[in-house]
């Protein structure tokens, strides 16, 4: 007695070829999106815009701007905290954008190591 698959689940090699084409198309789209995201810049500020950080989609710090009035030689720790806060916020924005856009592309499918 032969086991039968429901309609649309058979086909063997042709279904595998179709699946491979879909996977290749998804991989190409993810590559294009990755390139696009890496070229983007994300900006965040801290301390009421006293410190502004710009990072790229590659998660690299591009620039840090500090307003002169917040530079206090007696309180370097506060300035350091503001720089760290601005950079971290910009990195979070970049990561959030990447996660959301990749999630839309993959339909929410979790693919570890892909992005």
Residue 114, pLDDT > 60, answer no
Residue 73 lies in a domain: yes
Q: Is residue 2 part of a domain?
A: no
N- to C-terminal Cα separation, the chain: 45
Model-level pTM?
Answer: 0.70
What's the rounded Cα separation, in Å, for the pair 33 and 98? 9
Q: Is residue 115 part of a domain?
A: no
Task: For 74-99, write each residue's pLDDT tens digit.
Answer: 999 999 999 999 999 999 999 999 99
CA angle 59, 99, 47 (to 5 degrees): 55
**Residue 90: inside a domain, yes or no?**
yes
Task: Provide the pLDDT confidence category of residue 115 given band limits of 50, 70 and 90.
Answer: very low
Within-domain flag for 49? yes
Please determine, for residue 5, whether its predicted confidence score (pLDDT) is greater than 80.
no
Q: List the CATH number of the domain containing 71.
A: 3.30.1310.10
What is the share, in percent, of the chain residues with pLDDT greater than 90?
Answer: 57
Give the confidence band of 1 by pLDDT, cuts at 50, 70, 90: low
Q: Which helix (H) or strand (E) holds 36?
A: helix 13-39
| DSSP notation for 53-109 | EEEETTS-EEEEEE-GGG--TT-HHHHHHHHHHHHHHHHHHHHHHHHHHHHHHHTT-
Total structural domains within the chain: 1
**pLDDT per residue over 12-35, tens digit each?**
667 888 888 888 998 899 899 999
pLDDT at 9: 59
Please tell me the distance from the alpha carbon of residue 74 to that of residue 34, in angstroms, as a whole number: 43
Report yes or no on 47 lying in a domain.
yes
Q: Is residue 40 domain-resident?
A: yes
């Amino acid at each position: 007695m032969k086991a039968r698959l429901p309609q649309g689940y058979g086909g063997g090699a042709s279904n595998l070829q179709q699946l491979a084409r879909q996977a290749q198309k998804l991989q190409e789209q993810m590559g294009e999106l990755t390139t696009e995201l890496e070229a983007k810049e994300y900006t965040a500020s801290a301390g009421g815009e006293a410190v502004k950080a710009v990072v790229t989609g590659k998660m690299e710090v591009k620039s840090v701007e500090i307003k002169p009035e917040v530079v206090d030689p007696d309180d370097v720790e506060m300035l350091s905290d503001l720089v760290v806060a601005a950079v971290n916020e910009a990195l979070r924005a970049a990561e959030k954008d990447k996660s959301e856009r990749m999630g839309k592309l993959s339909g929410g499918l979790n693919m570890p190591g892909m992005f």
